[in-house]
Amino acid sequence: MAWLYGNDVVQRLGENAFLYDLSKIRGVSAILNRIPDNMSGVYALYRNFDVDTAAHDNPEVFVSNILQELCKPHCVTRETRFPPSHRLIVKPETTFSLKKQEALKYYAANPYFRELIITLLNNCLLFQQPLYIGKAINIRTRINNHLSMESKLRDRLKDAKHNLEQCRLLILGCSENINYHTLNNAELEDENESEVSHLEPEALIEDILSRLFLPLFTINYG
């Protein structure tokens, strides 16, 4: 059951807003054919939970699915130099105590509990941070690049046991009504304002969304 969105493969949320369930689309070509061409804007990838159909009726399968999802790394590993002679590495870690695992097994015997958790996972967009937020002058071309076997983002997600082609994809096209405002040099107070005046709206929107919602597998903002 989905509360705020249905189970359609593609949903139009607004004039230039689309939500895709990539897990229900077979093949890269089929995905790209559903994305409007020459659309500039921003996009976001979200984790999708493909719960085994047997989990609805089988408590053991249900518990196995939940524990498997809990063990997946939830963000990219980050590292930096820590002068003068150290390197700091921050890795994701999820712990789920034996006591909680036993409680999960106990409650999983109740079909109403199983259906509640599955319903919550079906509505996971309400609860999660994006995996990634990006921008593009041509979103279709950028998604094609992400889906290629040489994609760094694809590898980054794969290392964390996330399949890019199983994600949900949200694309938000920038309206043609957004005007680029360019000032004459005489009107500018300094060079910084000159740089700001030429900042693409897609880049600004991406940066705002990234800083507000902290995408888990984005390396750098802006």
Q: What is the dihedral of CA 143, 146, 150, 152, to 10 degrees?
A: 160
Which of the two residues, 109 and 77, has the higher pLDDT score? 109
What is the pLDDT at residue 148?
95
145 and 196 inside one domain:
yes
Global confidence as pTM = 0.84
Boundary (domain end) residue, out of 127, 156, 176? 127
How would you classify the pairing of strands 78-82 and 168-173? unpaired
Q: Is the pLDDT of residue 221 over 90?
A: no
Q: How far apart are CA 70 and CA 104, in angstroms?
A: 12
Ranges 48-62, 131-145, 164-178, 200-214: which has the least confidence: 164-178
What is the pLDDT at residue 92?
87
With pLDDT > 90 as the criterion, what percentage of the chain qualifies?
68
Boundary (domain end) residue, out of 127, 152, 181? 127
Q: How far apart are CA 133 and CA 151, in angstroms?
A: 15
- Percent helix, percent strand, percent coil in the chain, to nearest 5: 40, 15, 40
Tell which residue, 127, 180, 121, 144, has the closest CA to residue 43.
Answer: 144
What is the pLDDT at residue 1?
63
What is the pLDDT at residue 184?
44
With pLDDT > 70 as the criterion, what percentage of the chain qualifies?
86
* Structure tokens belonging to residue 55: 């989990």
76 class by beta-carbon count within 10 Å (0-12 exposed, 13-18 middle, 19+ buried): buried
160 and 177 inside one domain:
yes
21 and 107 inside one domain:
no
Element (H, E) at 134: strand 132-136
Cα 197 to chain centroid, rounded: 29
Domain that residue 134 falls in: 1-47+130-222
Q: Is the pLDDT of residue 187 over 50?
A: no
26 and 103 inside one domain:
no
Which of the two residues, 129 and 222, has the higher pLDDT score? 129
